[in-house]
Amino acid sequence: MTPPMDTGKGDTAEAPAAPSAVSLCPDPAQSPATLRHRADFLRAASARRQGTGGFLLQARDRGDGDPAIRVGFTASKKIGNAVLRNRAKRRLRALVRGVLPPLARPGWDYVLVARPEATVTRDFAALCDDLRAALTSVHQARK
């Protein structure tokens, strides 16, 4: 079948001059970097821990002089299928974007480990409170 000869008489739409940039973090300079290497996750797991109702927070001071804040997320198969694991990690990432930047310390690594049932079903406001309390507890001076 051949296309019609007449292309129409409607107004032509113009494309925007430049695509608008969408950022989930208000200030990208303050957004924490993401942990990617297994060794970093293992080092964080052997440092300070604070359990909450919605997740487990692991934190460590790197002590390397780099002021970057790095964050990792873990959701094992205990959480459920891939849909539930991805939902849990999405909720944890949103939690970190909203709560972590003003409370985190430069030069620290943080790992949030999802908990079965709790991370996906817990109220988001309660998760925010959990993270604030966990960060306060992790950063207190140890005796």
Task: Flag whether pLDDT at 110 surpasses 80.
Answer: yes
Range 32-137: architecture per CATH = 2-Layer Sandwich (3.30)
Q: Stretch 64-75: mean pLDDT, rounded? A: 95
CB 32 within 8 A of CB 70: yes
Domain boundaries, the chain: 32-137
Q: Which two tokens mark 48? A: 């300070």
Would you state the pLDDT for residue 134?
Answer: 97
Give the contacts of 105 (CB within 8 A, at least 6 positions apart). Answer: 61, 69, 139
pLDDT, mean of residues 90-106: 95
Q: Are strands 70-74 and 33-34 parallel, antiparallel or unpaired?
A: parallel
By percentage, how much of the chain surpasses pLDDT 90? 75
What pLDDT is attached to residue 31?
75
Q: What is the pTM of this model?
A: 0.78
pLDDT in tens, 4-36: 666 666 566 665 565 544 444 445 556 789 999
Q: Residue range 101-109: average pLDDT?
A: 95
What backbone torsions phi and psi does residue 8 show, to the nearest 5 degrees?
Answer: 110, 165
Angle at which helices 124-139 and 82-103 pack, to 10 degrees?
50
